[in-house]
Structure 1
Amino acid sequence: MTDARTYKVIQWATGNVGARALRTVIEHPQLELVGLWVSSPEKAGKDAGELAGIAPCGIKATNSVDDMVATDADCVLYMRQGTDIDEVCRLLASGKNIVTTRGDFHHPRSMDPDVRARVEQACLEGGSSIYSTGSSPGFVTEALAIPLLSLSRRHECLTIDEYADMSTRNSPDLLFNIMGYGVSPGQFDQRKVDYVKHDFASSMAQIADAIGLEADEWDAVGEMSAATNTAEIAAGTIEAGTVAAQRITITGLRGGKPVLRFRANWYCSRDIEHPEWELRESGWRIRVEGDTPLDVNITFPVKPEDYAAYTPGLTAHRAVNAIPAVCEAPPGIRTTVDLPHVIAKF
């Protein structure tokens, strides 16, 4: 019985999501933290509990990949910035399963063939598995899509709209310099479009394959909308006529018709030149078109001042909860389609 088993876990990195995952592992009744890898030399040697914002737990952080590869563990929660395939393969070949919030493993068939072959070989050597998940992509594009589509026998299109209100985020460099708010509308940064397409197209391709409607083309479009009124946000000022909202739409087409669609709606103000975007409060709207049409709305009943403490868990918690299912799965690159349900153990 897997209910009686304790899984030994290594946490890999301690950014916003990683730190939340670390705390959750330490407090989890079925998990035992046995290692912590950090990228920052300043964090090396510190107690994992301290880095998680709780009492010391006796596990010290390290920069050493060699030490972590040599550590006896069932699973690695891989949450570093960027995916190091050499590192991933070493961990898998050493017998450690990996659950990651990196979006590189949602759809094995669309991976770079050489990378896929290396990862699968490492899984065979270690008898291990790797699984990509999170809130989005992951939960909303896969785990939630599957039961919604199970009500249908004729499918037209599944559309997922994600809404993210950035107005309460006090991160001027991120919003103005990196994301491009508060400037005159121009050409959308294609690199941003490609980044979103990489993760979300692969996630939705997994579902398209599973329902027998493989997409033969994935379209990606980025759009901007300017503010109609000057808006004061936590990070500064969005002047009227400058970028206040952006959306990126990823569409899977089959025979020229949309089958699956994900649309990221990110905004600092709802007073924009494109009211037809129908911006909503942060959350998701999922619409199923077919013989059993559905319109599902999910919002987050959290005060704006609590968002910074709440949002890391959206991504971290599903990954932590997936550990038992991945550890018990056959070796290889695993997906939401072939894994059993991810069930939280409280």
Structure 2
Amino acid sequence: MSDGYRVVQWATGNIGTKALREVIAHPRLDLAGLYVRSAAKEGRDAGELAGGEPTGVLATRDVEEILALGADCVLYMPLACDFDEVCRILASGANIVTTRGEFHRPEALDPALRARIEAACAHGGTSIHSTGSSPGFITEALPIVLTSLQRRLDGLVIDEFADLSRRDSPALLFDVMGFGRPPAEIGEARLSHGKTSFGPSLAVLTDALGLPLDTIEASGEVAVTPETVEIAAGTLAAGTVAAQRMIVTGLRGGAPVVTFRANWYCATALEPGWDLGSTGWRVRVDGDAPLDVTIGFPVPLNGLGAVTPGYTANRAVNAIPHVCAAAPGIRTSVDLPQITAFLG
């Protein structure tokens, strides 16, 4: 691997801004460019947008300007994926590390789209890799390590817990996620979207273990608060949704092999009662070497908003050298070596 990589940051939302900050500070990465969609950010110094000192790199909305930089890698982190953009970047000779979930498993892509992306990779001699904390670290990287102790796997269950009671984001919790509404107003689509967002990542794991899935099923459930509760974002009236659970299960031979459950909650006194953990993850491996691993986030609930972008952005930044060194194509967690952070 090289001692230095020229990197473009593409988009500056919560995750993108954290990634930008870490690229600027990284001893082996040089910020080559910054792409933004907002006219208000265009022309501003990347360091200013990252909350630090000036870098001399100015944000642009000109895609051609970015492609002409000849960067080694683009950290692609927009709100929505533009496959035309992705193909142009790859064909230009720049690798991509992205926190978008579309590229975890090549087989999950539409065949024609996959062919386009792989052709762009071949033309540019580049690779693209999707990663992050969830999906990514908790659905691929960590389970691959834990199952390295097994010679038989009877089942693997990943629980993600998020206590949102101190998150002061009314628009997100009430308008987008539907907390505080009657249970009947939480649509099936909201609770079952994990088949698309997490299913491919779970299949990467089971494919690697030689246990390819027959089907992936997705469902969900909600629980209500029996009494009115005040949270940072506002009020949850008695009888309204105070917890949501999204469930994704991969089956083989009619039996579950791997299950991912996202448990989001704003109260712990619920009807029906749920077994909830603190914010973080729990991974249980049922095999000939059983394991039960709990990973907590040791941060006050009202400080999580400042910390959690790093769980996703940092892994993407750390993946840059490995993706730049990879063979051209859509590269999965199994294709790449263990992602190791350089902290010197």
Which bracket does the TM-score occupy, shorter chain normalised?
A: over 0.9
The two structures have a TM-score, normalised by structure 2, of: 0.98
User: Is the CA contact (8 Å cut-off) linking 1:22 and 1:52 kept in structure 2?
Assistant: yes
| Equivalent runs, 1:183-332 vs 2, <5 Å | 183-186=181-184, 188-275=186-273, 277-332=274-329
Letter in 2 for 1:308: G
* Partner deviation per Cα, 1:113-145 (whole Å, 9 max, x = no partner): 111000000000000000000000000100101
Q: Aligned Cα RMSD in Å?
A: 1.0
- Tell me, what secondary structure is at the counterpart of 2:340? coil
Question: Greater shift after overlay, 319-328 or 221-230?
Answer: 221-230
Residues in 2 aligned to 1:34 and 1:170: alpha-carbon distance in whole angstroms: 35
1:96-127 deviation line (CA, Å, top 9, x unaligned):
00000000011111211111000000000000
Which residue matches 1:65?
63
Deviation string 1:183-233 (CA, Å, 9 cap, x unpaired) is 111154233234322121000001111111111111100111101222110
For structure 1, the residue ranges without an aligned partner over 5 or more in a row are none
Contact 1:188 1:222 in 2 (8 A): no
Tell me the equivalent position of 1:135.
133
Mapping of residues 31-110 of structure 1, within 5 Å: 31-110=29-108
The 2-side partners of 1:312 and 1:81 are apart by: 14
Secondary structure of the residue that 2:107 maps to in structure 1?
Answer: helix
1:86 counterpart letter in structure 2: D
**2:178 and 2:186 in contact (8 A); partners too:** no
Contact kept in structure 1, 2:167 and 2:302, CA below 8 Å: no
Name structure 2 gaps, 5 residues minimum.
none
What CA distance in whole angstroms lies between the structure 2 residues aligned with 1:139 and 1:40? 30
- The structure 1 segments of at least 4 consecutive aligned residues displaced by more than 4 Å after TM superposition are none
Letter in 2 for 1:303: P
State whether residues 191 and 245 of structure 2, in contact with CA within 8 Å, keep that contact through their aligned partners in structure 1. no
SS at match of 2:162: strand
Q: Is the 8 A contact 2:161 2:277 kept in 1?
A: yes
Alignment-mate amino acid for residue 173 of structure 2: L
Task: Answer whether contact 2:192 2:219 (CA < 8 A) is retained.
Answer: no
Hey, what does 2:116 align to over in structure 1? 118
Query: Of residues 121, 138, 158 in structure 1, which corresponds to 2:156?
Result: 158
User: One-letter code of the match for 2:253?
Assistant: G
TM-score (norm 1): 0.97
Is residue 188–residue 223 contact of structure 1 (8 Å, CA) maintained in 2? no
- Say if 2:175 is the partner of 1:171: no
Residues 224 and 246, structure 1, Cα contact 8 Å, conserved in 2: yes
Using the alignment, how far apart are the partners of 1:150 and 1:229 within structure 2? 46
User: Does the residue aligned with 1:150 lie in a helix, a strand or coil?
Assistant: helix
Match of 1:144, SS state, is helix
What's the % identity of the aligned pairs?
Answer: 57
Deviates more, 1:318-327 or 1:165-174: 165-174
Q: How far apart, CA to CA, are the structure 2 residues paired with 1:234 and 1:85? A: 38
Other structure's SS at 1:36 match: strand
C-alpha distance in 1 between matches for 2:296 and 2:161: 9
Closer/same/farther in 2, CA of residues 319 and 259 from structure 1, 3 Å limit: same
- In structure 2, the residue corresponding to 1:147 is in which secondary structure? helix
SS at match of 2:149: coil
Q: Measure, in 2, the Cα distance between the counterparts of 1:220 and 1:83.
A: 23
For 1:195 and 1:91, locate their aligned partners in 2 and report how far apart those are by CA, in whole Å.
Answer: 28
